[in-house]
Structure 1
Amino acid sequence: MTLPAPTVCPCGGSPTALKGKSAEASYVHCCGRFIEQGQLPPDALHLMRSRYTAFVLENEAYLKHTWQEAFMPSSVEFEVGAKWLGLDIKDFVSTGLQDGQETAEVEFVARVRVGGRANRLHERSRFVCEDGQWRYVNAV
């Protein structure tokens, strides 16, 4: 089940913003163009932000569509009652070519409250561009 689309994008806004300097953006013009309109994210940073938004919206279809097949789980579990509080991008780097495909890493902190307890997910994620589409690989 996917939750209704919000007015303001959950990712925090401008995908070029790093280290907490984001500008509020509408969902339709930010991550909604990738999740609902089918546009391809132009880089791993845009994909990271749209995947965070997909977690907020509990959109399993988008998450699986943007996961590299070799690492994709059979299903995506969502925490019941989770309230996502924000995403902070800490670092975004192109890591070059691997097997002829462009790769990148994004370090982020996502904050979520589950059962009244606040949690932080701090991760450096790897991405690969396969046939023009960026995909999430795994955490390093």
Structure 2
Amino acid sequence: MADRPCPCGLPEAYGACCGRFHAGAAAAPTAERLMRSRYCAFVRLDAGYLLRTWHPRTRPERVDLDPGTRWTGLEILETAGGSAFHSTGTVAFRASYRGGSLHERSCFERVDGAWVYVDGEFPQ
């Protein structure tokens, strides 16, 4: 699986892309990369990674993932902040699945130097 294309849409293999973040070998360097790795975690049903990368202030007790959902693609629409020089950032994206899509503007913050997901807005 590590040599297959990464579901996040970047041209790298999963192991060299989001797989290293999921395995804890590295932390996502930007808010966008964290967002991509979280999308990939939804694809791979990795609830543990989603919880680990959720801000402690807004993290739910658990995440229930639907194994019947077939994610088919990710499109980054806009980013603001979220680089090595920022403490916050936003990423607007569209995640497609069989039968529909999800559009969200996600907010991220750094906690102890690592990017974490805070919450999201669902634009109309």
Q: Same fold (TM over 0.5)?
A: yes
Identity among equivalent pairs (%): 41
Q: 1:85 to 1:6 in 2, by over 3 A?
A: farther
Name the CA distance, whole Å, in 2 between partners of 1:136 and 1:124.
11
Contact 1:5–1:57, Cα closer than 8 Å, also in 2: no
Provide, for residues 6-52 of structure 1, a one-character-per-residue CA deviation record: whole Å limited to 9, x for no partner.
71100011xxxxxxxxxx22001111111114301111001000000
Partner of 2:106: 125
Identify unmatched segments of 5+ residues in structure 1. Answer: 14-23
Q: Please list, as runs of the form range in 1=range in 2, the aligned pairs for 1:1-140 lying within 5 A after superposition.
A: 7-13=4-10, 24-94=11-81, 102-113=87-98, 118-140=99-121
TM-score (norm 2): 0.89
TM-score by length of 1: 0.79
Q: How many residues align?
A: 119
Structure 2: gaps spanning 5 or more residues: none
Consecutive aligned runs of 4 or more in structure 1 exceeding 4 Å deviation: none
Q: CA RMSD in A?
A: 1.9
| Cα pair 1:127 1:137 within 8 Å, conserved | yes
